[in-house]
Amino acid sequence: AQTVTQSQPEMSVQEAETVTLSCTYDTSESDYYLFWYKQPPSRQMILVIRQEAYKQQNATENRFSVNFQKAAKSFSLKISDSQLGDAAMYFCAYRSFGSGNTGKLIFGQGTTLQVKP
């Protein structure tokens, strides 16, 4: 069974600085997706970024980028130029890819990010 681990329950960053959130996962599959979701106090789950395992290039979305290390099973999220609106809980998630898969997402425990003005 696949597992996702976020070892940092809480992180803080100064506004305009850069912060990296860690995520490791365990799987025997070769094809899968990895996601970072943001959950602000409103509780809405917002997709931040996604990575397909077959792609070697790290995904980037504006100020958000990932460091995907497939062999190490590591998927960290880097937030550049942090803004007050980035304060939220961040979840790393895994999804299998392949015929018949149900799309089940496996979530890590979450990391609460505080942004200090």
Partner 1 sequence: NAGVTQTPKFQVLKTGQSMTLQCAQDMNHEYMSWYRQDPGMGLRLIHYSVGAGITDQGEVPNGYNVSRSTTEDFPLRLLSAAPSQTSVYFCASRGRGWKQGTQYFGPGTRLTVL
Binding site for partner 1 (CB under 8 A): 4, 33, 35, 37, 42-45, 47, 50, 52, 91, 93, 95, 97, 102-105, 107-110
Q: CB nearer to partner 1: give 12 or 54.
A: 54
Q: Are 92 and 105 in contact (CB under 8 A)?
A: no
Least CB distance to partner 1 at residue 107 (A): 3
Give the integer Cα–Cα distance in Å for 64 and 115: 15
Q: CB nearer to partner 1: give 14 or 101.
A: 101
Least CB distance to partner 1 at residue 94 (A): 11
What would the two tokens of residue 84 be? 């007050």
Least CB distance to partner 1 at residue 25 (A): 12
Give the integer Cα–Cα distance in Å for 110 and 93: 10
State the Cα torsion 65-76-49-32 to the nearest 10°.
130
